[in-house]
């Protein structure tokens, strides 16, 4: 019983024998890389890159529900990716615009 | 004019997500191009290496998905180039691409 379920998954059109599985599975690498970068100083974060990560994640969450075959793995990875992008953007924005307490006296 | 109308109404045209998904991915390419002007210390090894593998896989994905998506394929081919270049800039700055006595600092 369990064996046939596993077989069904194994042979699925978006299963592990296809690029439909591995491409989105690897896309988790981007989110993982981004999470690893959470500990980096905000000065090193790239605005263009994180905007790209966020927008891509949001648009692709939609895209993955209309392609053939429908791809929930791709959907989930893009939702998380957008989340990490938003977090990085928040970190950098907070650093650049809301924590100038030390800098203000130097500027004046 | 007719070509434009055909494109506008195409099942893979700008009224559909099949268009905007890949357009969003061009954001990575543009971000990469902009970041080429920045000092290599700002390059993220994690992110850039992830992008290199990611775009390689998605070139294949774009080819195999239904409907086949040439825009996506072009996007990931471009991104692959940009990210590989950025990775080489990072590696060079770290000292990994020296000819003799490679002394890479982490």
Residue with tokens 């850039």: B48
| Chain A residue nearest residue B59, CA to CA | A23
Q: How many CB atoms lie within 10 A of CB B60?
A: 16
Interface list for chain B against chain A, based on CB atoms closer than 8 Å: 16-18, 20-21, 23-25, 27-28, 30-32, 34-35, 38, 41-42, 44, 46-47, 49-51, 53-54, 57-58, 60-61, 64-67
Three-class SS state of B42: helix
Task: Give CA–CA dist B57/B63, Å, rounded.
Answer: 10
Cα(B106)–Cα(B96) distance, integer angstroms = 10
This model of the complex carries an ipTM of: 0.76
Distance CA B69, CA B21 (A): 10
**Tens of pLDDT along B37-55?**
999 999 999 999 999 999 9
Q: In angstroms, what separates the C-alpha of A42 from chain B's closest C-alpha?
A: 10
Comparing A48-52, A61-65, A74-78, A103-107, the range with the smallest average pLDDT is A103-107
Mean pLDDT of A73-98: 93
Residue B22's CB is within 10 A of a number of other CB atoms, namely 24
- CA-to-CA distance for B72 and B69, rounded, in angstroms? 5
């Amino acid at each position: 019983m369990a064996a046939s379920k596993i077989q069904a998954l194994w042979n699925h059109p978006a299963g592990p024998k296809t690029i439909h599985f591995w491409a989105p599975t690897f896309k988790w690498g981007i989110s993982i890389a981004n999470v690893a970068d959470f500990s980096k100083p905000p000065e090193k974060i790239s605005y263009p890159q994180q905007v790209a990560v966020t927008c891509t994640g949001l648009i692709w969450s939609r895209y993955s529900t209309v392609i053939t075959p429908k791809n929930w793995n791709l959907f989930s990875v893009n939702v998380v990716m957008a989340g990490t992008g938003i977090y990085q953007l928040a970190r950098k924005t907070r650093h650049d615009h809301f924590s100038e307490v030390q800098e203000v006296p130097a500027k004046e | 004019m007719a070509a434009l109308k055909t494109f506008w109404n195409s099942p893979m045209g700008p009224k559909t997500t099949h268009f905007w998904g890949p357009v969003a991915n061009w954001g990575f390419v543009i971000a990469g191009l902009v970041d080429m002007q920045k000092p290599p210390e700002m390059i993220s090894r994690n992110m850039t290496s992830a992008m290199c593998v990611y775009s390689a896989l998605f070139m294949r994905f774009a080819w195999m998905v239904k409907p086949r998506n040439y825009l996506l394929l072009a996007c990931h081919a471009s991104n692959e180039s940009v990210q590989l270049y950025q990775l080489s800039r990072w590696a060079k700055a770290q000292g990994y691409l020296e000819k003799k006595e490679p002394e890479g600092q982490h």
